[in-house]
């Protein structure tokens, strides 16, 4: 689909095959385009747009570059914050002095929000203002996604670090939750990296035909991205700490089970030995013919159980843990 954003109009236009792109078009937004839509944009911009395999690649075609009066800005991985389970897709931004052409291969709320805000403000600086609006929106929504993950990390941390002992199956569920949070953070991290590279490239090259107002907007986004990068490092460290802590609690629970088995084995050892000795088929055995022999054997076996348990209790080895 090709969406056309024109100067001075409050609503975007949807391109239809066979029609010409308006002369006052400022932003051409390609979403999962077909060959005809791509060709129409190439004719309007007067240049060849990168293909999807080039955007995803790590070669020269997949890098940010400046060719004449056109900026080719690529993101090999971008996922919108509105759907964190969505798979990341490549994204291409081509900026000329009079036209912005964007190529994306999935629906994105960032583009819808940026387009709506751009139409409301109606900047007079054309394609550069549309690019600035889009970059600001993408950075803001990526920040919102990371903040949401940070809130979930904090909630999980409060659940993990409590005075009560949690069951192992609950700890395993939390372990899976940590994995899901890390996967979502990785998607946001990929988007953050792509936006950072684009912003850094614009700030370092700074073409003369980009108005100073829009360059300042991009520079402000660069400062925000630095803060987001530090926040990403904090979240990564917290997730690693939670992962290690949950593993530690699982180990504690397993050690408690092994401790219980050890106490039972030690307490059962003396009566087992005594019962084994008195169960031998010897003809002559002390107290074999005595009327009190059976009671003495039972009392001795019971005492051999109680004495180790009393020692364990005295040493504090029979606590609830």
Q: How far is CA 6 from CA 136, 153, 278, in A?
A: 20, 43, 101
Alpha carbons 149 and 175: distance in angstroms, whole number? 15
Please state the length of the chain: 321
Say whether 43 sits in a helix, a strand or coil: helix
The secondary structure element, H or E, covering residue 83 is none
Residue ranges with strand state E in the chain: 2-6, 13-14, 25-31, 65-67, 70-78, 89-95, 100-104
Give per-residue pLDDT as tens, 133-145.
Answer: 899 998 998 898 8
- pTM of the complete model: 0.75
pLDDT at 83: 54
pLDDT at 64: 81
pLDDT at 320: 61
Tell me if 266 sits within 8 A of 308, measured CB to CB: yes
Place of tokens 């990526």: 142
Say whether 93 sits in a helix, a strand or coil: strand
**CATH fold for the domain made of 254-315:** Methane Monooxygenase Hydroxylase; Chain G, domain 1 (1.20.58)
Alpha carbons 138 and 144: distance in angstroms, whole number? 10
CA dihedral defined by 190, 192, 195, 199, rounded to 10 degrees?
A: -140
The least confident of 23-37, 48-62, 284-298, 304-318 is: 48-62
The secondary structure element, H or E, covering residue 235 is helix 212-278
- Reported confidence tier of residue 121, pLDDT bands at 50, 70, 90: confident
pLDDT at 319: 67
Tell me if 190 sits within 8 A of 78, measured CB to CB: yes
Residues sharing a CB contact under 8 Å with residue 76, sequence separation 6 or more, in sequence order: 55, 56, 57, 58, 62, 90, 190, 194
Alpha carbons 171 and 72: distance in angstroms, whole number? 47
DSSP secondary structure letters along 237-269: HHHHHHHHHHHHHHHHHHHHHHHHHHHHHHHHH
Give per-residue pLDDT as tens, 51-94.
Answer: 887 777 655 545 788 888 888 888 888 877 655 556 778 888 88
Chain-wide mean pLDDT for the chain?
Answer: 83
Mean pLDDT value across residues 6-22:
80
Give per-residue pLDDT as tens, 243-297.
Answer: 998 888 888 777 777 877 887 888 888 888 888 888 887 777 777 777 888 888 8
pLDDT at 57: 63
Q: Which two tokens stand for residue 261?
A: 């088995």
Give per-residue pLDDT as tens, 195-226.
Answer: 998 898 888 888 888 888 888 888 899 888 99
Say whether 163 sits in a helix, a strand or coil: coil
Alpha carbons 214 and 101: distance in angstroms, whole number? 17
Mean pLDDT value across residues 27-34:
87
Domain boundaries, the chain: 2-252, 254-315
Lateral strand order in the sheet of 25-31: 13-14, 2-6, 25-31, 100-104, 89-95, 70-78, 65-67
pLDDT at 321: 56
pLDDT at 118: 82
Give per-residue pLDDT as tens, 93-113.
Answer: 888 888 899 998 888 888 888
């Amino acid at each position: 689909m090709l969406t056309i954003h024109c100067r001075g109009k409050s609503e975007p236009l949807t391109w239809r095959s066979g029609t010409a792109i308006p002369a006052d078009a400022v932003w051409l937004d390609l979403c999962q385009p077909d060959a005809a839509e791509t060709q129409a944009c190439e004719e309007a911009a007067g240049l060849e747009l990168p293909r999807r395999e080039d955007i995803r690649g790590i070669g020269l075609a997949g890098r940010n570059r400046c060719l004449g009066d056109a900026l080719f800005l690529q993101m090999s991985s971008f996922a919108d914050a509105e759907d964190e389970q969505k798979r990341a897709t490549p994204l291409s931004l081509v900026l000329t002095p009079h036209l912005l052409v964007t190529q994306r291969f999935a629906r994105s709320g960032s583009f819808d929000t940026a387009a709506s805000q751009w139409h409301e403000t109606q900047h007079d600086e054309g394609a550069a203002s549309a690019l600035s609006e889009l970059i600001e929106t993408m950075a803001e929504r990526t920040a919102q996604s990371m903040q949401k993950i940070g809130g979930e990390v904090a909630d999980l941390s409060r659940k993990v670090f409590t005075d009560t002992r949690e069951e192992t199956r609950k700890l395993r569920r939390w372990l899976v939750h940590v994995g899901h949070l890390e996967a979502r953070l990785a998607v946001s991290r990929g988007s953050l990296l792509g936006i950072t590279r684009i912003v850094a490239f614009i700030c370092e090259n700074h073409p003369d035909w980009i108005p100073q107002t829009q360059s300042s907007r991009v520079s402000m986004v660069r400062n925000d991205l630095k803060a987001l990068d530090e926040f990403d490092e904090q979240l990564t460290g917290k997730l690693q700490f939670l992962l290690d802590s949950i593993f530690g609690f699982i180990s504690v629970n397993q050690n408690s089970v092994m401790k219980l088995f050890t106490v039972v084995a030690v307490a059962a050892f003396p009566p087992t030995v005594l019962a084994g000795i008195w169960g031998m088929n010897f003809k002559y055995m002390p107290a074999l013919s005595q009327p009190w022999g059976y009671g003495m054997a039972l009392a001795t076996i019971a005492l051999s159980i109680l004495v180790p348990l009393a020692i364990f209790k005295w040493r504090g080895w029979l606590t609830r843990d």
